[in-house]
């Protein structure tokens, strides 16, 4: 999906997509649907076809795909990039050894469809981790995606990607929790989304304008322990599986409230102790 979307954008920017390779016929058929006539070859036969290669496989297949590509000596002097968020340049060691210039261009974006990816990639940040000799070409590709480069050291990639997962995947999980609690209140899922997404959008706007600490509102920020006790009692009765998450996030929120200086150190200590207790 991501590979096809990237190829579409590069094609729009004036690049010629010389060839695609995928063992799955359905993926090739889908790519051709978006890209038009394009050569379909084995990975080992790709090297002579182009100057630059994007490996967009799942992380666990990057190393083997790179090794197959690099088995052809024509890869020497070419550019080989993968798009993994957590993977480092070690995944491209075979290409580097064969004389290619290597790097990673990771789109800091989530996709549910190729059309959606083509629409959302422009304007997104791209985590860039590149070896010597690949910086200029990597920057040019990000520019052709109409993206914004974000330099990430190879040793920082797992931490960077953990941040990305919290921002995207775990946020989705939190909204699923919201839907579950709303259903318990008798609010249909569709109505829950309509009701709570403006609240989410408002929070995101505040974060964008003022940063996370200053965007904080709610009972923890007010030092409202009575309301927090009501939350715990309600969750204990209705959704006890969410209690560990609620307590952990509440304790982290207490630290933010203290940073924002909307509660005193004494209040923060009391609230933090409340969240860490096993019982109300």
CATH code reported for the domain at 2-152? 3.40.50.720
106 in Cβ contact with 2 (< 8 Å):
no
Each residue of 66-118: pLDDT tens digit? 999 999 999 999 999 999 999 999 999 999 999 999 999 999 999 888 999 99
The mean per-residue pLDDT over the stretch 247-257 comes to 97
Q: Which helix (H) or strand (E) holds 81?
A: strand 79-82
Q: Is 41 exposed, middle or buried (0-12, 13-18, 19+ CB in 10 A)?
A: middle
**Predicted local confidence at residue 280, as pLDDT:** 46
User: What secondary structure does DSSP assign to 119-137, as a single string?
Assistant: HHSTT-EEEEEE-TT-HHH
As a whole number of angstroms, the distance between CA 14 and CA 157 comes to 30
Each residue of 58-76: pLDDT tens digit? 999 999 999 999 999 999 9
Structural domain boundaries in the chain: 2-152, 160-276
pTM over 0.75: yes
User: Which residue stretches of the chain are H helix?
Assistant: 2-12, 25-35, 59-70, 93-97, 114-120, 135-144, 157-165, 171-184, 189-210, 212-215, 219-222, 225-238, 243-260, 265-276
As a whole number of angstroms, the distance between CA 80 and CA 12 comes to 21
């Amino acid at each position: 999906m991501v590979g096809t979307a990237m190829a579409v954008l590069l094609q729009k920017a004036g690049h010629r997509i010389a060839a695609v390779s995928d063992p799955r016929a359905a993926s090739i058929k889908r790519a051709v649907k978006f890209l038009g006539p394009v050569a379909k070859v084995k990975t080992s036969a790709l090297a002579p076809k182009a100057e630059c290669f994007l490996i967009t496989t799942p992380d666990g297949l990057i190393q083997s795909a790179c090794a197959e590509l690099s088995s052809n000596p024509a890869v020497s002097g070419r550019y080989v990039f993968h798009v993994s968020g957590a993977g480092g340049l070690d995944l491209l060691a075979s290409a580097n050894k064969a004389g290619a210039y290597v790097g990673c261009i990771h789109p800091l974006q989530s996709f549910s469809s190729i059309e959606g990816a083509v629409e959302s990639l422009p304007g997104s940040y791209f985590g860039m981790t590149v070896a010597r000799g690949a910086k200029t070409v990597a920057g040019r590709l990000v520019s052709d995606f109409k993206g914004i480069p974000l330099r990430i050291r190879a040793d920082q990639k797992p931490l960077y990607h953990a941040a990305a997962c919290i921002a995207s995947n775990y946020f989705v999980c939190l909204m699923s929790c919201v839907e579950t609690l709303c259903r318990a209140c008798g609010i249909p899922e569709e109505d829950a989304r309509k009701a709570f997404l403006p609240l989410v959008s408002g929070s995101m706007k505040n974060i964008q304008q003022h940063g996370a600490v200053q965007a904080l509102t709610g009972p923890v920020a007010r030092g409202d322990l009575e309301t927090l006790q009501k939350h715990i009692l309600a969750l204990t009765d209705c959704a006890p599986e969410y209690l560990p998450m609620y307590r952990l996030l509440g304790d982290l929120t207490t630290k933010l409230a203290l940073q924002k200086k909307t509660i005193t150190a004494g209040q923060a200590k009391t609230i933090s102790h409340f969240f860490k207790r096993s019982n109300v």
